[in-house]
Structure 1
């Protein structure tokens, strides 16, 4: 996993553990052996550590986390101590990425030279942890507390060119990295015993305390729910004390976080997201060609999909039936890219290349150029069927056909074509160029290579594709529908909308269900309810509160009132007398004596509803894996990532108590409640 070469009197130790030089026990051991060999050779005056073009090192080997190998000598802090105390200068030559333990490895060296394109960062916060091998102590000493805190708390990598003047690097170069690193090692060798070490940098205690407290005050509500954020601040707060004390405090905090539910949930999400993007063995196939796509519909969703595809380097044909609508869509795309350039997030040349790959047209025959055709029109079965009759007539043989639908039966759509094997569902989430989740929906006749193409498209668009079976609402909307219904039941039982919303945001949900409903517009759900009214079993519990709000013109934010009122566009903290009267009337008609619900009762009922629906989805084959349901809820519906998802939450509960609680939920819901199989869901 390492090679040892000499360039005159400099030893070059090359890390060679594909693909990203993760710091497994084997690689750590070989670095230690190579370092010892270089120190023992009197002809060697300096040492360079270098990776490959892709990575200096992407950090710890996550597969070893929690295993004996993680604690096998040399553990990473021990290896870094050997590097730092090495009597000969060690220089890190950084190309590609240096992340987490990889950056900590570089920080322990006496010098650092990087390509300007290299990316460095400490992403441990995304796993519910803090850097545990000196990152919280060495980085602030080199770059200052403010920059160090920003990098550790955000977890986002930054380019070497951005940090060229920060103090992190001795030199940032555009080329000839190894030569520059060897030259720097020679320069440091001339210093003799006075080698620069991050541990020797002194920070002012008062300044450190002030900057840490400022950062603590700036944490948002969701960050305050996650112990890792406070632990970062506690660790950086001791950067002004003797270095060994700071290291000990960092290690104590790190080890305290490892077994927490939040850290375990984040490690779980890290793992299951990668599993979710893979098709089961029986469906694996080679994707079809995917270079040119067509998007039908130039509204918000269609243009969002088009932008995602353009950003991925694909050619895009945007088709509309109305010239004015097509021009509005083209302008929306153009405005998006102009804003990105103005904000400094994209270069003008990149934007020009993206826009050059866009064709807008009213001509259906242009579909013949596309490898994949995505329909993104109004959520109405008849409308979508009419579109696909046209698609079937004009798309080339072998093209993949996709419908972007949230609820509709894709087999009903495929039935109007002569090639149902070529059709699948691609449920994008709005805004499509921002949201990462993509539900890839398998129809009764969808060919394996069509599904593989859908999954590949998701990866090409840098989204997280999850395979779903063809059922009403697929995975996400099906679970969310059960969750929303239970929250509506709680309104009748005694809670106010703000109490439900606050209980769930207090757990870490991005928004509560009633704030979400107001934001998306109550008339969307109202329209669907009216369309399904004839199919509704009158014996089932039905909450009419939303219908009555809509009947009074309270359609959400866009009309200035929904569950909440929005004077001056800002939501009031509590519901007004009109809403409360509607809710109280609904309770009275149900014969319910309203009883207050605690935040814990609200959270538990909402979670139980999700868990039961998840069990049904798994049993019906709508979800391939139980963990896929957690991925969908976290990525698309604001479920707190550090809670893992409803399935992960259920796995933390006592099984007998959980079974009993689901029985209690059945009594609350009443007629029509279908109980899921928890044994299958939880394993």
Structure 2
């Protein structure tokens, strides 16, 4: 027997206890232990087998250390088939989570009991694959096709009550999993209950799989795993036998295993967990964080305050007038009402947060005792410096002074205080209580425990926190500026904003760059262009058509018109008929003759610009690792998860081909298309971006 599985006999019941902390992952030792346990139980004359997990959970899924490696025998699929085929009655007692292979083992058991708090699901689509050990064949047989498709194609887990309601488990009982499992198994033996293998159940009734396949591809913006998983469920309904369905599931599983999307999603899975683990923070204790101040109650500040309140922090919101403070309170309450509606907080919690945890103020003295303050005021250096000068005067020693600036130099902001070591950038993304990304911008003199506190705050708020150095735009907005410039150049040369948006949504983005600009507000980019104009290189191609829109008062969705026209009550916008004329005038002014762009060329140029700038960001140390860039673009800029991030995408398509394309584009514009030195070095060395991730881990 493996040490990962403990075998014991309790009367006629062989008890197999998983002992593979912390989550009883179904690694090789666990699989071998289960197999050996069944062989021993059958040899020694047991009448039933009970499977449960020691510690905090049943099998929570596969062992992530085995991801991407050849599966050693016994495989999940073979193990599940062996469990189901046992002549003994097999019972699984579930607590904690039964996810992926864990739920597949449970479904291979003949009976299932769970504690009320147990959760179960098949999240494989989030890794770019599908359940490959019979999950797509067994779950539809016990729960029906509708429920099975919902669980398999979304990857969302469900609770024990819903699982019972849908026939996935047979009983829900409060208690210790071992005790309730033994009692249930003994009850089954005394009642003479039969073996009840799911494979012997009739095939479930099908649905319109073709229509659902189209809908899943559209909903997933091209992600293959949910739509492919649907085809596996279809096999459960239509295959000649259960075994034929299993063979079809395996074929589809291997298709996804060999796909680029699986590579991208596995990279995203591991990178999401690695991004906030910085070697320099090991052993560094963050500062105490109980009370937080927020300056500026607009959309961003209200969102930051909302996120902080929901995480359990007390918040003081500072505005300059009573009217502005009241408006800020209204925005925060609106956000929190949304949390009530979604079931995240109760009505009583809403009342407590808005009347006890939140304080409104109009004087800086109200921030005297906060542990950390974030300013979310107008993006202007002189305004920021005024705010930080006042914070320096009133905040207690050791309080952290943070700026939510999107672009501005944190070092310059810190220099106007007497405590630059306490200053940090905390760049949230709007709406801040919804968006997952937090850029933690570390200035030259920022103390290491202040950095640790920034990451601790991100964890409290449920954010994906990424470390950034100081430069214009930090990681995300600097890269954004480059690929937006590339898009503007293509428009000058003949493409349209709407063709570019369509090409990028086909690539997998939820919105194209010009629709995104309308959503964010065209005035943001306009302000940045005016700020950078005095230092702009004369060789830079800067279009005037975006400025013309802003000069006419068209800032996108908030004004009802930008690149698109927005009508009240209608979702999305329609192309603004004034835009082509502005573009034509800009081209005529520059003496440019437009040419035709294919969607493929648009996508390639756009992505090459993104990758090239990202490589510069990593090469300069603004981002420590390529995965930092990937997570920034995934969680802050809508990059399709199944591509893994721009630098993972680059690894997959080939760095040598990307560099060759950049060199070709440089023949037309050698100022914009300057190859990143890091990209050139990696190609010369025959290496890739992921090699740098491994070196940094």
Task: Compute the TM-score of the two structures, normalised by the length of structure 2.
Answer: 0.92
Deviations 1:623-643 (A, max 9, x none): 100121111111111111111
Residues 526/56 of structure 1: CA separation in 2 closer, same or farther (3 Å cut): same
In structure 2, distance between residues paired with 1:317 and 1:131: 47
Indicate yes or no: 2:212 matched with 1:215: yes
Indicate yes or no: 2:503 matched with 1:500: no
- 2:277: which partner in 1? 278
Residues 15 and 50 in structure 1, CA contact (< 8 A), matched pair in contact too: yes
Out of 13, 16, 22, the residue aligned to residue 13 of structure 1 is: 16
Indicate yes or no: 2:345 matched with 1:346: yes
Superposition map of 1:113-124 within 5 A: 113-124=113-124
Out of 39, 43, 48, the residue aligned to residue 42 of structure 2 is: 39
- 1:598: which partner in 2? 598
1:46 Cα offset (Å): 2.5
In structure 2, distance between residues paired with 1:570 and 1:462: 29
Residues 673/286 of structure 1: CA separation in 2 closer, same or farther (3 Å cut): same
Tell me the SS of whatever aligns to 2:565. coil
- 1:261: which partner in 2? 260
Tell me the SS of whatever aligns to 1:55. coil
Residues 229/557 of structure 1: CA separation in 2 closer, same or farther (3 Å cut): same
Deviations 1:282-317 (A, max 9, x none): 786222222322222222212211222222222323
In structure 2, distance between residues paired with 1:94 and 1:370: 44
In structure 2, distance between residues paired with 1:60 and 1:300: 41
1:570 Cα offset (Å): 5.2
Residues 284 and 449 in structure 1, CA contact (< 8 A), matched pair in contact too: no
- 2:52: which partner in 1? 50
Residues 562 and 576 in structure 2, CA contact (< 8 A), matched pair in contact too: no
Indicate yes or no: 2:108 matched with 1:111: no
In structure 2, distance between residues paired with 1:145 and 1:512: 35
Residues 626 and 647 in structure 1, CA contact (< 8 A), matched pair in contact too: yes
The 10-residue stretch of structure 1 (523-532 or 494-503) with the greater mean CA deviation from structure 2: 523-532
Residues 52 and 95 in structure 1, CA contact (< 8 A), matched pair in contact too: no
- 2:68: which partner in 1? 66
Tell me the SS of whatever aligns to 1:156. coil
- 1:439: which partner in 2? 439
In structure 1, distance between residues paired with 2:206 and 2:56: 35
Tell me the SS of whatever aligns to 2:542. coil
1:352 Cα offset (Å): 4.5
Superposition map of 1:234-245 within 5 A: 234-240=231-237, 241=239, 242-245=241-244
Gap runs ≥5 in structure 2: 683-687, 690-697
Residues 83 and 108 in structure 1, CA contact (< 8 A), matched pair in contact too: yes
- 2:294: which partner in 1? 295
- 1:538: which partner in 2? 538
Residues 279 and 452 in structure 1, CA contact (< 8 A), matched pair in contact too: no
Out of 229, 233, 242, the residue aligned to residue 230 of structure 2 is: 233
Residues 563 and 575 in structure 2, CA contact (< 8 A), matched pair in contact too: no
Deviations 1:215-254 (A, max 9, x none): 3243252526122122111111121332111111101110
- 2:516: which partner in 1? 516
Deviations 1:520-547 (A, max 9, x none): 2212211222233222233321111101
Residues 498 and 573 in structure 1, CA contact (< 8 A), matched pair in contact too: no
- 1:27: which partner in 2? 30
Residues 518 and 557 in structure 1, CA contact (< 8 A), matched pair in contact too: yes
Superposition map of 1:18-417 within 5 A: 18-42=21-45, 44-52=46-54, 54-68=56-70, 71-190=71-190, 192=192, 194-204=194-204, 207-210=205-208, 212-219=209-216, 221=218, 223=220, 225-240=222-237, 241=239, 242-281=241-280, 285-355=284-354, 356-417=356-417
Tell me the SS of whatever aligns to 2:132. coil
Tell me the SS of whatever aligns to 1:98. strand
Residues 441 and 467 in structure 2, CA contact (< 8 A), matched pair in contact too: yes
Tell me the SS of whatever aligns to 2:446. coil
1:559 Cα offset (Å): 2.7
**Aligned residues: CA RMSD:** 2.1
Residues 441/674 of structure 1: CA separation in 2 closer, same or farther (3 Å cut): same
Residues 437 and 463 in structure 2, CA contact (< 8 A), matched pair in contact too: yes
In structure 2, distance between residues paired with 1:528 and 1:393: 30
Residues 283 and 448 in structure 1, CA contact (< 8 A), matched pair in contact too: no
Residues 221 and 509 in structure 2, CA contact (< 8 A), matched pair in contact too: no
1:469 Cα offset (Å): 0.3
Residues 460/282 of structure 1: CA separation in 2 closer, same or farther (3 Å cut): closer
In structure 1, distance between residues paired with 2:229 and 2:294: 45
Aligned length: 676
Residues 608 and 665 in structure 1, CA contact (< 8 A), matched pair in contact too: no
Tell me the SS of whatever aligns to 2:316. strand
Superposition map of 1:656-675 within 5 A: 656-671=656-671, 674-675=674-675
Task: Compute the TM-score of the two structures, normalised by the length of structure 1.
Answer: 0.94
The 10-residue stretch of structure 1 (400-409 or 82-91) with the greater mean CA deviation from structure 2: 82-91
Residues 54/365 of structure 1: CA separation in 2 closer, same or farther (3 Å cut): farther
Tell me the SS of whatever aligns to 2:653. coil
In structure 1, distance between residues paired with 2:29 and 2:680: 39
Residues 289 and 371 in structure 1, CA contact (< 8 A), matched pair in contact too: yes
Residues 540 and 670 in structure 1, CA contact (< 8 A), matched pair in contact too: no
Residues 201/348 of structure 1: CA separation in 2 closer, same or farther (3 Å cut): farther
1:53 Cα offset (Å): 5.3
Residues 111 and 184 in structure 1, CA contact (< 8 A), matched pair in contact too: no
In structure 2, distance between residues paired with 1:587 and 1:334: 48
1:185 Cα offset (Å): 1.2
Residues 224 and 230 in structure 1, CA contact (< 8 A), matched pair in contact too: no
1:354 Cα offset (Å): 4.1
Tell me the SS of whatever aligns to 2:220. helix
The 10-residue stretch of structure 1 (151-160 or 28-37) with the greater mean CA deviation from structure 2: 28-37
In structure 2, distance between residues paired with 1:81 and 1:221: 34
